Amino acid sequence: MIEQMHLRDLGVIADATLPFGPGFTAITGETGAGKTMVVSGLGLLMGERSDSGVVRSGAASASVEGIWVVPSEGPVADRVREAGGELEAIGGGESELYLSRTIAAEGRSRASAGGRAAPAGVLVDLAEKLVAVHGQTDQLRLKSQSAQREALDRFGGEATRAALAAYREAFDAWTGVDRELEQLVRERDDRAAEAERLRAALDEIELIAPEPGEDRRLTERAERLSNAEQLREAALSAREAISSEEDQPDVSALLADAQRSLERAGDPALADTAAQIADLGYRAADLAVSLSGYLADLDEHGPQELADVEERRAALSALVRAHGSLDAALELQESGSARLAELDDDGDRVERLTTLRVEARDALDAASGALTAARVEAADRLGAAATEELHALAMPNATLTVGVSDGPESAHGRDEIAFLLAPHPGAEPRPVAKGASGGELSRVMLAIEVVIAATDPVPTFIFDEVDAGIGGAAAIEVGRRLATLARSAQVIAVTHLAQVAAFAGNHLSVVKSSDGSITASSVTRLEGAEREAEMARLLSGMPDSDAALENARELLVLGARA
């Protein structure tokens, strides 16, 4: 439950603290005093979209802070800790949770949960577990089939939730298979054409059988073969300089002369040098042999090899033109086989997916039937329980029926849910969307919420003028039912009816004041004579009227007995 909320510069409220606590809290005040800002502040703490228009004129920002009492362990605590926030233990397995929201005048919004900055989405997640809000817009929403379906499923409890979860799993499985099969059939011609292109490309690559880096190596080889004559002259000149086949001075002969000269000198100090010259002679001889082999290779492979290299380069160039690079062609050769196998398997895939779709459809039919059965059972109980509540809400002859009929297939099932109201015996039940007045719709919504609370409890209920359109005895019964709901949950109601406020254990009044230039509102907890005066004002508009005060006291006594 929310224990306390502090508002600063929110609308007409400059600075106010609202003590809520357990039970039923009624919030009253004159029109324009700022009751709406209280609901707006609660909405901001629940992650609703912010609007710079709520910032009080002249203020740099508006802020809302709330202290909630929550279980120390459970979904709420887990979500807060997941967001990096902390809870403050207060004993008895409960902790305090601090939430805040700040809206700058230029529109920026910041939120925090458990003392740590957090996205507004975290507040939305927490709100789903902490609060149920009902206002006049929610009454209008109750006219929609989706809202009626959600209400029925909430009332159905675990049985309906399990059936709905199983249905959605089966629905997702069926739609997945159906979508895949339809796409496969739709793209069959394109896929067949792709297979033919891929097969031709792979055949060409396989025929040419390229090797990684082969194009670069062939380019280098072709360049060398194209310059064979220049290379021959260079190699021959080098070989002749090292070891001439003709009777000309060369490196080998000169080294041999140098070695002999040192050896003839007979000086031991020159022996090492002579040995080094001898080694140079051996190396020169090896170089001469190597150059002779190079020259022989040029003579043997020159013209014919160049033709072969150019032919091979032309074949590789065709692959490069087709695929962008030789590496791309090799990559396609490596990966294309698997893709081709997939494309060639289309016929078998169609057959397999068709079988799977039939099986998925059978499973979906079974899950749909189970969900419908669960809803029909819950609908009977919800209609009976809500009818009983309506009788207590000054609609003694009304009957609410929850109809479950065949509808279009969707992720929510194949059922159309309709809340039908017969205001008196003999009347034809009509959808509440068409046949219920504003006051009747308020009571239908409250009756449903009271009934659902027994099977799907929510810690806090917030009602924003759900008593609109009713009065007299009906308003008293609305107040009585809110008090009943407050026995198992916290109830906060913004109301303009004394008959409703009388049943609250905590009465807060939003009061507007002005010094002629600035208008501001404050919030006060009412007790004793102050509460009687506010009740009299709600009844007659005259807080000092003796008759109104007497009536107010009677209502307060009635509320205290509830």
Cβ-proximal residues to 450 (8 Å cutoff; 6+ apart), any chain:
389, 481, 484, 485
Q: Which two tokens stand for residue 336?
A: 């294309």
Please tell me the predicted confidence (pLDDT) of residue 73.
93
Residue 285 within a domain:
yes
Do 213 and 340 lie in one domain? The reply is: yes
What is the pLDDT, as a whole number, of residue 229? 64
Residue 97 pLDDT more than 90?
Answer: yes
Return the minimum-mean-pLDDT range out of 65-79, 175-189, 361-375: 175-189
- Name, of 198-202, 343-347, 410-414, 483-487, the range with top average pLDDT: 410-414
Which strands sit side by side in the sheet containing 430-431, from one edge to the other?
399-410, 413-422, 430-431
Q: With 80 as the cut, is the pLDDT of residue 395 above it?
A: yes
> Counting beta carbons within 10 angstroms of the beta carbon of residue 168, is it exposed (0 to 12), middle (13 to 18) or buried (19 or more)?
middle
Domain count, the chain: 2
Considering only CA atoms, which of 375, 373, 361 is closest in space to residue 409?
Answer: 361
**Whether residues 205 and 121 fall in one domain:** no
pLDDT at 88: 92
Residue 291, token pair as written in the block: 């150059």
Place of tokens 């380069």: 313
Claim to verify: residue 206 and residue 289 sit in the same structural domain: yes
Q: Compute the average pLDDT of residues 126-140.
A: 72
Mean per-residue pLDDT of the chain? 84
Determine the pLDDT at residue 527: 92
Residue 323 lies in a domain: yes
Task: Verify that 115 and 198 share a domain, yes or no.
Answer: no
User: Does 16 score more than 80 pLDDT?
Assistant: yes
Reported as a pLDDT band with limits 50, 70 and 90, residue 505 is: very high
**Residue where a domain stops, chosen among 311, 344, 377:** 344
Domain C-terminal end among 294, 314, 344? 344
Contact 382, 448 (CB under 8 A): yes
Q: What is the structure's pLDDT at 98?
A: 94
Residue 269 counted as domain residue: yes
Give the helix/strand (H/E) hosting 414: strand 413-422
Q: Which residue has the higher pLDDT, 351 or 45?
A: 45
* Tens-place pLDDT, residues 100-115: 999 998 888 899 999 9
In a domain, 272, yes or no: yes
Same domain? For 196 and 126 the reply is no
- Cβ pair 197, 316 in contact under 8 A: no
Condensed to tens digits (0 to 9), the pLDDT of residues 467-478 reads: 776 778 888 888
- For the CA atoms of 521, 525, 529, 535, the dihedral, rounded to the nearest 10 degrees, stands at 70
Q: What's the pLDDT at 461?
A: 86
Per-residue pLDDT, 346: 66
Residue 174 lies in a domain: no
d(CA 36, CA 464): 8
Can you tell me the distance from the alpha carbon of 529 to that of 544, in angstroms, rounded to the nearest whole number? 11
pLDDT value, residue 406: 94
User: What's the pLDDT at 506?
Assistant: 94
pLDDT at 118 > cutoff 70: yes
Percentage of the residues of the chain whose pLDDT score is greater than 90: 33
Q: Which of 446, 489, 466, 552 is nearest to 27 (CA)?
A: 466
Of residues 346 and 199, the one with the higher pLDDT is 199
Q: Is the pLDDT of residue 302 over 80?
A: no
Q: Are residues 228 and 112 in the same domain?
A: no
More confident residue, 229 or 75: 75
- pLDDT category, 214, cuts 50, 70, 90? confident
Could you report the per-residue pLDDT of 276-299, keeping only the tens digit for each?
988 888 898 888 888 888 777 766
* Residue 242 lies inside a defined structural domain of this protein: yes
Which residues constitute the domain of residue 236? 190-344
Please give the pLDDT value at position 516.
Answer: 47
330 and 464 in a common domain: no
pLDDT given at position 100: 93
Lowest mean pLDDT among 116-120, 375-379, 394-398: 394-398
130-134, 346-350, 433-437, range with greatest mean pLDDT: 130-134
Cα-Cα-Cα-Cα dihedral sign, residues 418, 423, 424, 427: negative
Question: What's the mean pLDDT in 340-347?
Answer: 68
Distance of alpha carbon 498 from alpha carbon 26, whole angstroms: 10
Q: Are residues 127 and 201 in the same domain?
A: no
- Cβ contacts of 489 within 8 Å, gap of 6 or more: 1, 453, 457, 458, 459, 460, 461
CATH number at 29 reads 3.40.50.300
CA–CA dist 365, 376 (Å, integer): 16
- Residue 14 pLDDT exceeds 90: no
Q: Are residues 121 and 231 in the same domain?
A: no
**Looking at 285, 319, 344, which one is the last position of a domain?**
344
**Highest-confidence segment of 12-16, 153-157, 162-166, 519-523:** 162-166
32: left (phi over 0), alpha (psi -120 to 50) or beta: left
Only one residue has tokens 């150019």, namely: 310
Least confident of 40-49, 190-199, 286-295: 190-199
pLDDT over 70 at 228, yes or no: no
Domain identity same for 244 and 323 = yes
Report yes or no on 221 lying in a domain: yes
Q: Is the per-residue pLDDT at 518 higher than 60?
A: no
Domain co-membership, 95 together with 235:
no
Cβ–Cβ under 8 Å, residues 123 and 45: yes
Q: What percent of the chain has pLDDT over 70?
A: 91
- Show the tokens assigned to 267: 């000086």
Q: Phi, psi (5° rounding) for residue 495?
A: -140, 155
pTM score: 0.62
For residue 383, tell me if it sits in a domain: no
pLDDT at 532 over 70: yes
